[in-house]
Amino acid sequence: MPAENYRPLVFAHRGGADALPEHTLGAYLRALEEGADGLECDVRLTRDGHLVCVHDGRLERTSNGRGRVSAKTLADLETLNFGSWHPGYPAEEELPVLSRLLTLERLLEALLSSGRRVRLLIETKHPSRYGAEVERRLVRMLRHYGLADPKPDDLVQVTVMSFAALALRRIRAQAPGVPRVFLMEFVPPGLGRGRLPFGAHAAGPGVEVIRARPGLLPAIRAAGHQTYVWTVNEPADLELVLAHRVDGVITDRPRFVLDQLGGV
Ligand code: G3P
Ligand code: CA
């Protein structure tokens, strides 16, 4: 159990990928019903320039399609089933909410019309392959929905995340008010003092990074940054990140984490 008066934000990784097919609207909405504070969403570009919520570069693992997401048009992807591969997909009937491709636009529309407050962590994938296009289109979409210049009473509060400093720099240049998380699967050289590069507000280390470098989070916090740790699915991982008093826990199992936190 966490210490008194401390309760991290809980984010459903890829919409809470354990129970339902990742990155489907049904998964995201269920995570919010369960009490998650926010959602984590990966975005990529289709060949015709649409931002879609798909983690992998290829289609095979999470759909009945084949090939690269970036080689397909939005219309191509709309014909695929993105849910039937998952054990949590109901065998008896076709459910669009658990099988239809989710676009970022559709996700934002659904969240904004839900009327509830939600934090949305958007991870841009592969900034080098697409040039500046992913971030450019993302900022344009955030502007369209009035989310590029965040205000405290915004219903949807967007943070952009990336493993690529280049992507964070582009966001800073185009939408400086949008918070940015620098993701890490290892400790980048030169981070010994915990100061993050490129104006990132928060660090997003993998849980294995924390285990390997216990001094990292205290240093990052001492430098004034928040910490969001992924992917916290197991009891021992949760115990570790709670001991570090992280600001955000990103998990495939939001129900489990919320239960452990005692429904606070
Ligand atoms: O939240 C960060 C985490 O999602 C990064 O890993 O591969 O699941 O996108 P990945
Ligand atoms: Ca991600």
How far does the centroid of ligand 1 lie from the alpha carbon of residue 230, in Å? 7
Choice from 13, 41, 250 to test ligand 1 binding pocket (greatest atom count within 8 A of CB): 13
- Please state, in angstroms and rounded to a whole number, the distance separating the CA atoms of residues 242 and 213: 16
Closest atom, ligand 1, to C-alpha of 42: 9
Cβ-count burial 96-128 (b if 16+ within 10 Å, e if not): ebbbbbbbbeebbeebbeeeeebbbbbbbbbbe
pLDDT in tens, 92-149: 888 999 999 999 999 999 999 999 999 999 999 976 777 799 999 999 999 999 999 9
Q: What is the pLDDT of residue 264?
A: 47
Give the up-direction half-sphere exposure of residue 7: CA atoms within 13 A in the CB hemisphere. 13
Q: What are the contacts of 64-72 at 24+ separation with CB within 8 A? A: 69/44, 69/45, 70/44, 70/45, 70/46, 70/129, 70/130, 71/47, 72/46, 72/47
How far does the centroid of ligand 1 lie from the alpha carbon of residue 84, in Å? 22
How far does the centroid of ligand 1 lie from the alpha carbon of residue 12, in Å? 11
Mean pLDDT of 154-167: 95
Q: What is the pLDDT of residue 87?
A: 93
pLDDT in tens, 69-86: 999 999 999 999 999 999
Cβ-count burial 237-258 (b if 16+ within 10 Å, e if not): bbebbbebebbbbbbbbbbbbb
Number of residues that this document lists for the chain: 264
* Atom 3 of ligand 1, residue of closest alpha carbon: 230
Whether 197 shows a pLDDT value over 90: the answer reads no
Domain ranges, ordered by start, for the chain: 9-260
- Please state, in angstroms and rounded to a whole number, the distance separating the CA atoms of residues 56 and 68: 9
How far does the centroid of ligand 2 lie from the alpha carbon of residue 62, in Å? 14
- Residue 55 bears catalytic tag: yes
Whether 263 shows a pLDDT value over 60: the answer reads no
**Percent of the chain whose pLDDT exceeds 90:** 86
Whether 3 shows a pLDDT value over 60: the answer reads no
* Atom 10 of ligand 1, residue of closest alpha carbon: 55
Choice from 23, 123, 124 to test ligand 1 binding pocket (greatest atom count within 8 A of CB): 123
How far does the centroid of ligand 2 lie from the alpha carbon of residue 163, in Å? 9
Q: What is the pLDDT of residue 91?
A: 85
Ligand nearest to the CA of 12: 1
Q: What is the pLDDT of residue 176?
A: 97
Which of helix, strand or coil describes residue 206? strand
User: What's the chain's average pLDDT?
Assistant: 94
Q: What is the pLDDT of residue 177?
A: 97
**CATH number 3.40.50.200 given to 9-260:** no
Ligand nearest to the CA of 123: 2
- Please state, in angstroms and rounded to a whole number, the distance separating the CA atoms of residues 160 and 213: 24
From the candidates 55, 86, 225, 244, give the one annotated as an active-site residue. Answer: 55
Residues with CB under 6 A from ligand 1: 13, 40, 42, 55, 123, 183, 204, 230, 250
Closest atom, ligand 1, to C-alpha of 55: 9
Mean pLDDT of 190-209: 87
